[in-house]
A and B are shown apart, each in its own frame.
Chain A
């Protein structure tokens, strides 16, 4: 009796460990995969290799692999590449896709992450918070979700009205951001932070109406600071400074891209796939980019004295830089 009990026990333990190890293994595998993907993309971008380099299993190979620095022909060739996000941010998803098909550069510029993230959040709200990294670019998420919606709609609608339903659904794609949404980052906030921001704004007497006329810059405005959210104390303009920060400007001193508001540094604009990956996870691959992190003038200002009482104190702090 005791023997068989023991045996049972052993078996149970064995099974348990089997199951456990399998779980942890699959988790590890998943993690590994997640780490690898950005790596591959990163490599891909760095090399700017020809498209279809095999190891990029991940769908949008044309976008990530061969992006020319600017448009070669026509009147757009005069425009510095960093201005394109500012033009394209006014466009709807449909128009962005039109742009994508024009030429390689525009395809690259019109696939910019912040643009699609905004459009996605405008239409469906935020993604539910999750520990996993997003599996693909915002643009692809948008297109997928749109497709799913359409399929769902067609399945559920009465056949005689099918065409109208489809037209109505398709019209959502031509919804361009409102002027207030173009400027303000409110739309990409999650609810808890959004509430905090609203609370702060109402305590300062701001309504949700935006002052669209005022151009906030890191030099002129002071910002209230909630996590990675920056609210202009003069206008209530909301800026979210994360991987899709839109306030980056080139620091002429060292050619770094730096957020005018927060002082965060970004190593490369318009390569969302790069900034998407956590620098820690990429290990050795980012050797080139890593030393730049946090070394720009504004970034130093940020670490040394962003929370200064006033401009004077900030200047004082900056004398070290």
Chain B
């Protein structure tokens, strides 16, 4: 029987999770090791975001367990199939996040707070993909960023980076 832990979100929702799944979070792993994780573990993460985090952790957990059970024979092929499955799952996951930037950024913060390097890296790549190939004005619009350059500064800085937008 797997050891279960109860995580409490910032809006007081309880999530029951297997130790193996939640130990991917270095932050929680430390709490468990230090013996600080008795009863409910309160987290500064909303239930909506925490659900997403756990969705990710479960998927990763699933994958590592399968890898451990594999013997080396035929691993290559299986790995490839698995990779396809994971790709598919990740694509779905990232499409959902791209559609809702608030969730994406909450998740980014949560993965930073919970110290989940794999998820953090995945999300950073996702944000980078959103930025890639965009013009400054598009980036501003997409993320609601205010242009805080004075006209002179903007001119100077455009001149400095001139080549990027010259044919």
List chain A positions with a Cβ less than 8 A from chain B.
Answer: 51, 59-60, 62, 68, 71-76, 78-80, 83, 86-95, 97-104, 106-107, 143, 146-147, 150, 166, 170, 173-174, 176, 213, 215, 217
Contacts and interface: CB of A to CB of B under 8 A. Distances in A.
Given A76-B143, A98-B139, A215-B118, A104 B102 contact: no
B133 interface: yes
- Interface centre among B101, B156, B158, B161, by most A CB within 10 Å? B161
Interface of B: 26, 101-102, 105-106, 108-109, 112, 117-118, 120-121, 124-125, 127-129, 131-136, 139-140, 143-149, 153-154, 156-158, 160-161, 163-164, 167
Nearest to A147: B163
What is the interface of chain A mostly: helix, strand, loop, or mixed? Answer: helix
A155 to B, nearest CB: 16
Given A75-B105, A83-B124, A102 B167 contact: no
B124 A97 contact: no
A62 B157 CA distance: 8
Given A76-B145, A83-B112, A99 B131 contact: yes
A102 B121 CA distance: 23
Contacts, number: 117
Given A98-B135, A150-B163, A71 B157 contact: no
11 contacts: A62-B156, A74-B140, A75-B105, A80-B112, A86-B120, A95-B133, A95-B134, A99-B131, A102-B136, A102-B139, A173-B163
Contact of B108 (A74, A83, A106, A174): A83
Contact of B154 (A59, A74, A101): A101
A139 B118 CA distance: 28
A179 to B, nearest CB: 8
Given A62-B153, A78-B109, A173-B164, A98 B124 contact: no
Contacts of A88: 128
A73 B144 contact: yes
A86 B140 contact: no
Nearest to A214: B118
A284 to B, nearest CB: 32
Given A78-B105, A215-B117, A97 B149 contact: no
A106 to B, nearest CB: 7
Contacts of B134: 95, 98
A99 B157 contact: no
A166 B167 contact: yes
Contacts of B144: 73-75
A90 B149 CA distance: 25
Contact of A98 (B101, B112, B127, B164): B164
A79 B108 contact: yes
A12 B54 CA distance: 83
Given A91-B132, A146-B163, A173-B163, 10 more contacts: A72-B148, A74-B140, A90-B128, A98-B134, A98-B164, A99-B131, A102-B136, A103-B145, A143-B163, A174-B133
Contacts of B148: 68, 72, 103-104
Contacts of B125: 90
Contacts of A213: 118
A100 B157 contact: yes
A87 B124 contact: yes
Nearest to B67: A213
A95 to B, nearest CB: 5
B99 to A, nearest CB: 14
Contact of B145 (A51, A102, A147, A217): A102
Nearest to B140: A102
B139 A99 contact: yes
